[in-house]
Structures are given as C-alpha cells and as structure tokens.
Structure 1
C-alpha cells in the first residue's frame, strides 16, 4: 500500500510522492523509483509496492507535479516542457529525504523506467553518494564520456528492439563506466521497450520482466541491504 507524502526542498519548494514501507519495523536500504513519461500513475505505484515487499523503503517522487498522461500523445506533450536538470535536482532531494527517514539504513539507490531510466543514469552521474543505480530502458541526453566519472555501481536493463533506448548506446555507456574504474552490469533482453509495464499487454514481456526483476533485487540487496 502506498502512502502520499510531501516534503520540502532546500529551495523552499515541495515534492509530493508515493511512499511504500517494507514489512516489519527494522531499518533497510531505500530506493527512489523514478516514473515513466506518463507520470506517477498506478503502474508506478505497483512497482513501488513490489520493491517494498522485497524489503526496501521505496518512494516515487512526482516529477510532473500532479500531471498524469492518459496515453503516449499526452506523455509526449509533457516531455516537451519537462526540465531534466530540475528533475535531477528533485531526485537528489528525494534521496536526502529517504536517507533521513527513520527506517533507512543510510544507503539509497535510484531506479527508473523509460524517462525514469534516463534520469536514473543522470542521477548516477550528478548526485554524489548514491549507493547504486538501476536504469530500465532509458538513456540520458549528455555524452557518454561523462560516465567515466560515475562511481555508483549500475545494473542496466535494456530491450533488444527499442527505438527510444538503443542498447548499443547502453553498451557504450558501460564501456565508459568501466574505463573510469566504475562498475556496470548490463542486460539486454529479447523484448521491446517498456517490457516491465505489467498493466500494458502490448508491452509486457513476462519472462524478461521476471528475470530483470530478480536481477534487480539481487543487485540491490548486495548494495543497499
């Protein structure tokens, strides 16, 4: 079950989001879950709840601030006015919020899907002290050379057939991360874009989705506990 939360930013603004706590009362690793280009919709809340059931403190920040797209056309319009730099800053604020949460063990990772996958990689580049990053089929808009500076371990999941997030670009990012001494595991699935979207039968590929999920949970358990 998700709980609506609102927290303040350093600049004096506010961010709303959906928070899911894991079973029990102990401390655990925390996870920022970054939504797709449709916004903070039901499928993103389902992802958040599933991460919580796997043992993580999970929060989806609403980077569209109340706007949710009903379809891809509406999503494209939202993306046309979207401020990527501001969004990375808001992800950083969410990381700080989770790190201060009484159920967080101090280690915070970021994961995201589609637009959220791109922002996850941007977060790995620009937000210091991330414990880990798990992008799903998303690529940022800056040169791959910048990934030589990334130190947070990355576990990337990409589709073999994807016009929006070409897996060859993800492979180039992996080479840059490793050239800089960082760690990046990269998995490419026989699926299409958005294969984790369980509410969309035209996109969902259950075999790939389940394998990617298990790899993600194993990776997060190693890096954030």
Structure 2
C-alpha cells in the first residue's frame, strides 16, 4: 500500500512523499527512491511499490514540492529552477525519516533514476550519517570523480551504452576513484539507452536490461540493508 506522508525538513518546514510499506509487520531496510526530472509521477510511485513488494520500506520524496512535468519540455523548465544542493539536503531529511520509522531496521539506502541517479551519487558523497548503500540509475552529478575516493558507501550503478545525458565513461571514473579510496562500487553498463527502466515509455524501455538491473539491485540492497 502506498500513502502520502509528510516529514520534517527542520527549519525549512515539511516535505511530502509517497511511502510504500512491505507486507507483514517486521522491521526491514529503508529505501529513499529519488524521482526522474519529470517529478513524483506514477512511474516513480510504481517503483516504490515494486521495492516494497521486494521487502523494503520505500519512500519517494517530492523534490519538486507539488509540481509535475507532463513532458520533457516541462521537465526542462523545472530543472532550470531546481536547486540541486538543496535537494541533497532534503534527501538527508528523508533518510532520517526512514531511519526513525517503526518499520525500519535502521539501515537506509538511496536509489534514483536520471536526475535521481545524479542525486543518489551526491547523497552517497554528502549525506551524513553515511548511507548503507546507493543505487544510481543513469544519472551523474556535477562532482569531480576524484571526490568519490572519500565515499565508503557501497554503490551499485546502472548505466546505458547509448546515453547523451550520463556517459558511462564518467561512471567508470567514479568507480575507479571510489575503489582507490577503499570504497565499493559495482558498475553495470547495459545495451540500452537512457531511461531504460521507464516502463511507461515504449521509446525508452528496454525490458531485458530493466529486468536484469532490477534483479541486481534487489540482491544488492538485501545484502546491504537487509
């Protein structure tokens, strides 16, 4: 079941998000699901539900605060006014909300798509206390790859061979830096294009790559957050 919840942003008020709880009543790992540049739409809600069915307490925060893009043109306008650094801070509050949730075992990861993938990597670098895991899908932040030599959060990255937005060669540089600093980063590059997980878009969705990425993600998350 998915419900809308509100959580504190400290002195900055509140933020809403879609929360999906897994079956049963036991404690499970928490997962912040970060939306694409279109916002918290039905695709992202569906991802939350999928993660919940896989056994995680999944929260998708509304980083656009009620705004939603119906197409790429509208999304580009929203991105033009988007405060990336502020959003990383908001993700930190979302992580804190999950850590304190009665269903959470205290271990929290972040997974994100497109814009959310970039924010996921930024959260792995800057959110404190550190995340237990991070799973970026085809997104890259404007952070020098060498900065990830400081990241000890385990990362599982999913990227596409044909992608004008998130070049997998940059992801490889991030992986190299993370490993050089003693961190852990698995990196998978698929024979697909950008947004290959977006099941509602037949021009983007690549079912074989999506299924494999999903399997790898669930296994990775169960290993690191229970």
Q: Same fold (TM over 0.5)?
A: yes
Unaligned runs of 5+ in 2: none
Superposed counterparts of 1:103-182, under 5 Å = 103-128=103-128, 129-182=130-183
- Confirm or deny that 1:63 pairs with 2:79: no
Superposed counterparts of 1:1-225, under 5 Å = 1-128=1-128, 129-225=130-226
**Deviations along 1:139-170, whole A, 9 cap, x unmatched?**
00111111010010000000000000000000
**Deviations along 1:94-118, whole A, 9 cap, x unmatched?**
0000000000000000000000000
How many equivalent residue pairs?
225
Structure 2 distance, partners of 1:12, 1:81, is 18
TM-score by length of 1: 0.99
Q: Shift of the alpha carbon at 1:10?
A: 1.5
3-state SS of paired residue (2:73) = helix
Inter-CA distance 67–204: structure 2 relative to 1 (3 Å threshold): same
Q: Shift of the alpha carbon at 1:93?
A: 0.1
3-state SS of paired residue (1:11) = helix
Unaligned runs of 5+ in 1: none
Structure 1 distance, partners of 2:222, 2:144, is 30
3-state SS of paired residue (1:194) = coil
3-state SS of paired residue (1:36) = coil
List structure 1 runs of 4+ shifted beyond 4 angstroms: none
Tell me the C-alpha RMSD between the 2 structures: 0.6
TM-score by length of 2: 0.99
